[in-house]
Amino acid sequence: MNAHALPQLKRPLLLLVDDLAANLHVLVAALKAEFRLKTATSGPSALALLARESELPTLVILDVKMPGMSGIELLRRLREDPRTSDIPVILLSADASEQSELAGLNLGADDYLVKPVSPSILVVRVRNLIERNADRRQLRLAAHVFQHSGEAIMITDRDNHIIAVNDAFTKLTGYSHDEAMGRDPKFLSSGRGTKEEFSAMWAFIQAKGIWQGELWDRRKDGSVYPKMMTVSVVRDRTGAIEYHLANFVDVTHYKESQNRIEHIAHHDALTGLPNRLHLQVYLEQNVLITQHSGEQLAVMFLDLDRFKTINDTLGHSVGDQLLIEAARRLKASVREYDLVARLGGDEFVVVLRGHDAASAVGTVATKIRRQLYQPFELGEHTLRTAASIGIALCPDNGNDLGELMKCADTAMYAAKSDGGNGFRFFTPEMDAKAHENLEMENLLHEALERGQFELYYQPQISLPEHRVSGAEVLLRWLHPERGFISPALFIPLSEATNQICDIGAWVLEQACHQASQWLQQGLPLPRLAVNVSARQLQREDFHLSVERVLKESGYPPERLELEVTETAVATSPEKAARQLRNLRTFGIQIAMDDFGTGYSSLGQLKKMPLDRLKIDGTFVRDISSGSGHGDGAIAAATIAMGHSLGFQVVAEGVETEMQLAFLTTHGCDEVQGYYFAKPMPSVEFEAFLRARGLG
């Protein structure tokens, strides 16, 4: 767009300085159509105008010969003042001598024109000079950004030879500017990448013009480090690559933190054994191996007899010492490549590979039983315990992870019912639990139709203010004959039978209508959190159904929070992210529930449009274990990581003052749990809110 087509205030401002009114008149006539103009009739008046005006001119045109202060002297003054030193200046003079022109140019004039000047030539000279000065300013800015960027930057030519590096590059690599110039960046290589990987990278750069990924480099001192690098290209007018621009950062600390968090999340803080999450992955992999190799896999579910009595009588500290020593004995009883995991409490799982006969598995179980039956010398206490062990065999008892764990668990309870201190192999006769599940499924079908479900509300409390910041909606099932049925029983069953979508839709509708009524009654609950299942999230029209409920209930979208689990997100990350973004467009808030119990990567987490992370209650309970072996480490790490990603963090299952103090100290934003209030039906919760001053 030409300057004369811009609005008046957007046009460049010129300062014209000449002692003759006639000359100013000629200049104004030539320039007024394209530029805003200010005039001065002498050097001093020009300096005074510049001193009092907040807007400096884009360019100055001044006459060389003026009485008092000449144009040359005014130019010198302009160049000495930091405020005006960069303003382009055109000198006008009737003196066409080389000496006069050199004097002006040597003082910093940007152009020298001899009078009389053609108006059209003057306009073109002014326009070009303004554009060149703008380009110079952009180049200075780009150079400043390049040199002072926190990321290392390296530019190579079309032959991939380095032509520029910045200060961050020299600081990170240890190579100076001169040491890097002209070299192929291969001298930075750590040797960890394969030729095929680099060929694929360059092919991608050639095709797409940009590549991002992780590489390992070697510093000048020989140390290697991981870096996250982006390579983009600059093409010439023919489309050929002229330059490569690479910017990168050292991600050592990030990877260490990620590895530490992943290790903490997949290992038991007390015993150091793999936890349930690690066990799940291990079993899935080895069941597949067994299916292809024909080997037998044995899963032992183990529970310590009398542990609860010891723990309650002698305290958690002694109980923790017992668990640590039991874990050590279990590890010593099996081979190095067998797995010993702790599920929680006094429950352990042992996975044995390569035993061809049940008798061989029984021999290992006997060894474990004997090891755990030996006295435990724990400080001043000599304790005896024993183990009840249930064993499931793959493929005899199934090839499915869940089936094997269920069979081993069932067999363990059979061993415990025999008096403990023994082991039982699973048999079909033990499987009465399957019949109970079938009956429960039929009852579940009737529950929604017959109005047996009820919503409970558990308050969420802000820290450190201890104000009600929201509430989580929880589902309860009151059966007319069986009484309250645990969500731990019917929620997994509803997911398995695909009834969870209908139940979830009912929960959302009822909760929004109830919360809307509270608003109308003067109970402004800040936020209502409703759980969303993986199956609901997978439905393409889920966001539309949520929008419909909000419109029908009149509940403000910004007060609604939907909680999704890591598992729901990890199943199909891209689809989940798209669905959550759709929900966010309505103003709805999103929380990740039970964080730390799933397998979502940090890379996936950063892409999710989340507002909050909810620390699972199992990690909050670690805070009170009193073992000194990483108590609360996962909770503290999750709080720090959540804040670094811009999320608020909510801790579930807070039951003790110790847990609350720990979470407050580590900057947790909100908590919920029995310490403040148990889940309540709507009438009780309404009274709770009024007692807290919300009504």
Range list of β-strands (E), 136-261: 152-157, 162-165, 210-218, 224-235, 241-250
589 to 45, 165, 529, 601: CA distances (angstroms): 61, 43, 9, 21
| Counts for the chain of helices (H) and strands (E), in that order | 26, 27
221-246 pLDDT, tens per residue? 999 999 999 999 999 888 899 999 99
In the DSSP assignment, the letter for residue 108 is T
CATH number, position 166: 3.30.450.20
Cβ–Cβ < 8 Å for 58, 79: no
Confidence at residue 547, expressed as pLDDT on a 0 to 100 scale: 96
Q: How far apart are CA 503 and CA 497, in angstroms?
A: 12
630-667 pLDDT, tens per residue? 558 888 989 999 999 999 999 999 999 999 999 999 99
Co-location of 612 and 661 in the same domain: yes
Pick from 207, 223, 250: which residue ends a domain? 250
Q: At a CB cut-off of 8 Å and minimum separation 6, what does 138 contact?
A: none
Co-location of 627 and 493 in the same domain: yes
Amino acid at site 171: K
Co-location of 419 and 306 in the same domain: yes
Confidence of residue 598 (pLDDT cuts 50, 70, 90): low
Q: Which two tokens stand for residue 151?
A: 């990321």
DSSP 120-164: HHHHHHHHHHHHHHHHHHHHHHHHHHHHH-SSEEEEEETT--EEE
CATH number, position 505: 3.20.20.450
Say if residue 334's pLDDT is above 90: yes
219 to 148, 166, 212: CA distances (angstroms): 20, 16, 20
Cβ–Cβ < 8 Å for 560, 588: yes
666 to 242, 651, 660: CA distances (angstroms): 51, 11, 10
Q: How many domains does the chain have?
A: 4
Confidence at residue 1, expressed as pLDDT on a 0 to 100 scale: 44
Confidence of residue 431 (pLDDT cuts 50, 70, 90): confident
Co-location of 415 and 308 in the same domain: yes
Please indicate whether residue 601 or residue 585 has the higher confidence score (pLDDT).
585
Confidence at residue 31, expressed as pLDDT on a 0 to 100 scale: 94
Q: Which two tokens stand for residue 242?
A: 């002229």
Confidence of residue 323 (pLDDT cuts 50, 70, 90): very high
72-94 pLDDT, tens per residue? 999 999 999 999 998 999 999 98
Residue 656's domain spans which residues?
436-691
Say if residue 539's pLDDT is above 90: no
Q: At a CB cut-off of 8 Å and minimum separation 6, what does 122 contact?
A: 27, 30, 31, 113
Whole-angstrom Cα Rg for the chain? 37
Please indicate whether residue 575 or residue 571 has the higher confidence score (pLDDT).
575
Co-location of 645 and 595 in the same domain: yes
Cβ–Cβ < 8 Å for 242, 222: no
Q: How far apart are CA 154 and CA 544, in angstroms?
A: 48
Amino acid at site 510: Q
CATH number, position 426: 3.30.70.270
Please indicate whether residue 559 or residue 277 has the higher confidence score (pLDDT).
559
Q: How far apart are CA 402 and CA 408, in angstroms?
A: 10
Co-location of 325 and 408 in the same domain: yes
Co-location of 138 and 22 in the same domain: yes
Nearest to 107 by CA among 90, 127, 83: 90
Range list of β-strands (E), 236-291: 241-250
Q: How far apart are CA 675 and CA 537, in angstroms?
A: 32
Q: Mean pLDDT over all residues of the chain?
A: 88
In the numeric block, the tokens 């992210």 are attached to: 577
Confidence at residue 6, expressed as pLDDT on a 0 to 100 scale: 45
Q: Please give the share of the chain, as a percent, with pLDDT higher than 70.
A: 95
Co-location of 76 and 94 in the same domain: yes
Co-location of 462 and 539 in the same domain: yes
Cβ–Cβ < 8 Å for 540, 576: no
Co-location of 373 and 454 in the same domain: no
Pairing state of beta strands 152-157 and 241-250? antiparallel
Co-location of 644 and 526 in the same domain: yes
CATH number, position 119: 3.40.50.2300
What distance lies between CA 184 and its chain's CA centroid? 35
- 178 φψ region: left (φ > 0), alpha (ψ -120 to 50), beta (else): alpha
242-260 pLDDT, tens per residue? 999 999 999 888 888 887 8
Say if residue 133's pLDDT is above 60: yes
Co-location of 419 and 440 in the same domain: no
21-54 pLDDT, tens per residue? 999 999 999 999 999 999 999 999 999 999 999 8
